[in-house]
Structure 1
Amino acid sequence: MPTAARSDTDDGRYVGSRVAAIRKRRGMTQQMLADQTGISRGAIAKYENGERPVDSRKTLHSLAKALQCDVRDLTGHDQDRFDPRMAEFHAAVPDIEVALWTAGNTTPTGPLRSLEELAAMSNVARDLRINCQYGRVAPMLAPMLTDCYQHARDTTGAQQETAWDVLSTVADTVAKSLRAWGYPALSWTAADEAEKAAQHLGGTAVTAAAAFDRSQVLLSRPGALSRALQIAEDTAKLVTSEAQTRGELETLGMLHLQAGLVTASLGGDPDPHLDEAAELATRLSAAPAGRRMLRNPTFGANNVALWRMSSAMERRDASTVIELAPTVDPDVIPAKGRRAQYFVELGRAYAMEKQWRASLAALLRAEHTAPQHVRSMSVVRELVGHMMRIASRDLAKGDLGRLAQRVGAIPR
């Protein structure tokens, strides 16, 4: 992919352009920003000129912290809230908010669903989220929360226990869905509600899942990585001795994967946590099913290998990502979002190695796997925009140009 002049369609939709704009508003020179971030002035110049993508979480957070702005100010993530493809999801958020804030104590809008119906619906909602069908899952969430809360208030004994169990599962789906689409504070609230429900139940799955959700929220916040790691590690230590059932091992395993990723983001060695997750994956087949509903069926040996790729990418170790790729079979990863992540990580690694056509092919596979999810990813938008700026004109007008339009790197 030979170097070319910046595309005529490039209107500055990349992180570096926003860095330059905010830096100038702050009255800072490139050298002042370099001194505050520990990034060389030459690298900052390349980011701002679009010659190099900001493809590291550590770099993105350092820039946001030095510029005293939110990460979203640099990535443009808030624009995704107005994406017409996700209008149905965003339209459902106010009702979800009310259901969480009132603990379901709202004006009834329909007949109360039975606990059996709610349990079945919660599994459907979980699977829709796992497969990145957020537009379909969002309208289900507020009514399910409201009905679960009512059953928890109005029943006793075994029925009430079931109500708390279903509520914890629904709240976990709510937390993960909201975090994925730019509502971190409300996601945190949903994780709190899941854990409150778990206090009525016993077991460790919900506690581990709620800690995972909180750590994920903090992972996107500059200056919060140490706390994100502490939450994941402390909770893992707390629940390890009690985790026995399949759901408990799955959620504990995901917590170790998260701890490994955060460790890598902090520049540390993620392998102890990743190895612990791999060991937990070997115990799944012999583990009892357990009584509680909450599970994370995406966890397993294949997914552990994928998180090794993600952790290597956080350390900007592109060669390790490419070496690990053949050890992962993306076709058997049960979650479309994680399957797409495999191709995103591979695309990022190929780009770091300047294998541009291989990078584009991987990104197109990612988009084909989970279109809504991938088109909302700021790291994809940043990388595709960078490729557009250095691409030959014939390639920029082909698959790359069309992808750039779909992810919002250039205007339609």
Structure 2
Amino acid sequence: MGDVENTGARIRQYRRARGLSLDQAAGLAGISKGYLSRLERGERSVDSRARLTSIAQALEVSVADLTGQPYAPREQKHADAHRGVQATRLALLDPEGPGRSEEEVAAIIDGLDQIMARCDLVDEARIVPNVLRWTQQLADETGSPEAHRRVAIAAYTAIFYARNMGEFDLAWMAAERLRSAAEASNDPATLGLAAYGQAHALTPSGALRRAASVAQSGFDASDLGESESLAARGSCLLVGAATNASLGNIDTARAQLDDAMSLAARVEEPTMVARHTSFSSWNVIMHRVAVEVESGNPAAALETARPLASRPVKQRERMSYLWVDMGRAFSRMDRHRDAIDAFRRAERSAPLRVRLSPVVRDGVRDLLNQSHRRVAGAELRGLAERCGVLGEV
């Protein structure tokens, strides 16, 4: 199915292909028949990851089948970013090719966190395949723990590039490279980073319970000693909280965030794990916002977000997530103008990532549905066009 169809249309098509009635599918997914009918007609969007996962499981399809990911390129930047997908796959399957010196590779790896913070997927498409090959070549040659840690950082970056491109199987391939490198490094902090990366590779495919288990294992394996291990432990708490919220375990998620905030106060910057995962007190706050949105408490989410919205942090990628969550919260409160503004702020922070986000696409589609009987404003129509959903409503 192409990305010109919306999630509801895909749900309807898969339901009919499975020979299920609305009553049967709704019962299997644990939702009402009326809600499912409105989803299929495009009158509502799926408002939580847990609900989307339950619908996918009921229809025996993947979450990506319902969201339509990966999306076909519609613009030059998307096409440029997409060029790295096959190159990344080949680099993971076959790292042979021209290499670089250890000094050159070390310098590139040292700057990968800044590339991720900018969330420029075109830059990542150009860099990620090369660093995957170069780091693996050096690790095979030297076998040193430091060389394996560099492999881990390269693979970690590849996970998030692949996730943002909607290439979830590729993200898992990178997660397996990360796990293998972390084990070879025999470094507790890198093992914690691997658990964090693996959990993030699992969640967009709907493997939420396994993601929560992996995050917990990373937390359990990290000690309470030096800052690097504390950051790994805290990062696993963050992804665990996000995953538990998607599973509906809101109290568990909130407790994990409380523990993460305590750890954040003890981490001395900068550490390798904290740089790459952005583990910090402000990132804990961002996760609180996401958990409250997932729990159906938009007012609490917006109140929690207030300090960061008024004084943004430098990481553009993280700010894009915050503004998306705020847009979702505003939408749930029928504050449509504020929702449009929040989604546009998210787009300015990380343009291509946001346009490729199914959460944003569904949110923008909802806003169009609610305004199309009137005249949708130019800002909303422009955002819908850039996200590829203008012609669907």
Is 1:178 the equivalent of 2:162?
A: yes
Contact 1:128-1:134 within 8 A present in 2 as well: no
Match of 2:148 in 1: 164
Is 1:190 the equivalent of 2:174?
A: yes
1:141-184 alpha-carbon deviations (Å, 9 max, x no partner): 2222322223223337xxx3432232222222122222222222
The counterpart of 2:240, out of the listed 259, 262, 265, is: 259
Q: Which amino acid aligns with 1:47?
A: L
Instruction: Tell me how far apart the structure 1 counterparts of residues 5 and 377 of structure 2 sit (CA, whole Å).
Output: 17
The counterpart of 2:301, out of the listed 304, 321, 328, is: 321
Instruction: Tell me how far apart the structure 1 counterparts of residues 145 and 21 of structure 2 sit (CA, whole Å).
Output: 60
Instruction: Tell me how far apart the structure 2 counterparts of residues 351 and 234 of structure 1 sit (CA, whole Å).
Output: 36
Instruction: Tell me how far apart the structure 1 counterparts of residues 83 and 192 of structure 2 sit (CA, whole Å).
Output: 30
Instruction: Tell me how far apart the structure 2 counterparts of residues 123 and 354 of structure 1 sit (CA, whole Å).
Output: 44
Aligned CA distance change for structure 1 residues 36 and 395 (closer, same or farther; 3 Å): same
Contact 1:309-1:345 within 8 A present in 2 as well: yes
Is 1:244 the equivalent of 2:226?
A: yes
Is 1:218 the equivalent of 2:210?
A: no
Match of 2:365 in 1: 385
The counterpart of 1:26, out of the listed 18, 34, 40, is: 18
CA RMSD of aligned residues (A): 2.4
Match of 2:134 in 1: 147
Aligned CA distance change for structure 1 residues 282 and 65 (closer, same or farther; 3 Å): same
The counterpart of 2:109, out of the listed 109, 112, 122, is: 122
Contact 1:16-1:48 within 8 A present in 2 as well: yes
Match of 2:347 in 1: 367
Instruction: Tell me how far apart the structure 2 counterparts of residues 185 and 16 of structure 1 sit (CA, whole Å).
Output: 23
Contact 2:71-2:356 within 8 A present in 1 as well: no
Match of 1:276 in 2: 259
Contact 2:26-2:36 within 8 A present in 1 as well: yes
Instruction: Tell me how far apart the structure 1 counterparts of residues 168 and 156 of structure 2 sit (CA, whole Å).
Output: 13
Task: Report which stretch shifted further, 77-86 or 18-27.
Answer: 77-86
Aligned CA distance change for structure 1 residues 149 and 76 (closer, same or farther; 3 Å): closer
Contact 1:205-1:295 within 8 A present in 2 as well: no
Unaligned runs of 5+ in 1: 1-10
The counterpart of 1:87, out of the listed 79, 87, 106, is: 79
Contact 1:343-1:363 within 8 A present in 2 as well: yes
Match of 1:339 in 2: 319
Instruction: Tell me how far apart the structure 1 counterparts of residues 4 and 163 of structure 2 sit (CA, whole Å).
Output: 27
1:71-97 alpha-carbon deviations (Å, 9 max, x no partner): 222212222466542223322232322
Aligned CA distance change for structure 1 residues 330 and 169 (closer, same or farther; 3 Å): farther
1:245-277 alpha-carbon deviations (Å, 9 max, x no partner): 3x3332322210111111111111112210111
Instruction: Tell me how far apart the structure 1 counterparts of residues 170 and 300 of structure 2 sit (CA, whole Å).
Output: 36
The counterpart of 1:231, out of the listed 210, 214, 239, is: 214
Instruction: Tell me how far apart the structure 2 counterparts of residues 54 and 276 of structure 1 sit (CA, whole Å).
Output: 30
Q: Which amino acid aligns with 1:355?
A: R
Q: Which amino acid aligns with 2:153?
A: T
Contact 1:205-1:294 within 8 A present in 2 as well: no
Instruction: Tell me how far apart the structure 2 counterparts of residues 99 and 334 of structure 1 sit (CA, whole Å).
Output: 31
C-alpha deviation, 1:376, in angstroms:
0.6
The structure with the largest alpha-carbon Rg is 1
Instruction: Tell me how far apart the structure 2 counterparts of residues 319 and 26 of structure 1 sit (CA, whole Å).
Output: 39
Instruction: Tell me how far apart the structure 1 counterparts of residues 194 and 215 of structure 2 sit (CA, whole Å).
Output: 10
Instruction: Tell me how far apart the structure 2 counterparts of residues 123 and 24 of structure 1 sit (CA, whole Å).
Output: 51
Contact 2:298-2:333 within 8 A present in 1 as well: yes
The counterpart of 2:89, out of the listed 77, 93, 97, is: 97
Contact 1:305-1:327 within 8 A present in 2 as well: no
C-alpha deviation, 1:397, in angstroms:
4.6
Instruction: Tell me how far apart the structure 2 counterparts of residues 147 and 219 of structure 1 sit (CA, whole Å).
Output: 28
Task: Report which stretch shifted further, 367-376 or 50-59.
Answer: 50-59
Instruction: Tell me how far apart the structure 1 counterparts of residues 22 and 172 of structure 2 sit (CA, whole Å).
Output: 36
Q: Which amino acid aligns with 1:95?
A: A
Larger RCO: 1 or 2 (CA < 8 Å, sep 6+): 1
Aligned CA distance change for structure 1 residues 198 and 44 (closer, same or farther; 3 Å): closer
Contact 2:235-2:277 within 8 A present in 1 as well: no
Contact 2:135-2:151 within 8 A present in 1 as well: yes
Instruction: Tell me how far apart the structure 1 counterparts of residues 388 and 316 of structure 2 sit (CA, whole Å).
Output: 21
Aligned CA distance change for structure 1 residues 155 and 15 (closer, same or farther; 3 Å): closer
Provide the secondary structure at the position in 2 that maps to 1:389. helix
C-alpha deviation, 1:321, in angstroms:
0.8
Contact 1:281-1:300 within 8 A present in 2 as well: yes
Instruction: Tell me how far apart the structure 2 counterparts of residues 200 and 379 of structure 1 sit (CA, whole Å).
Output: 37
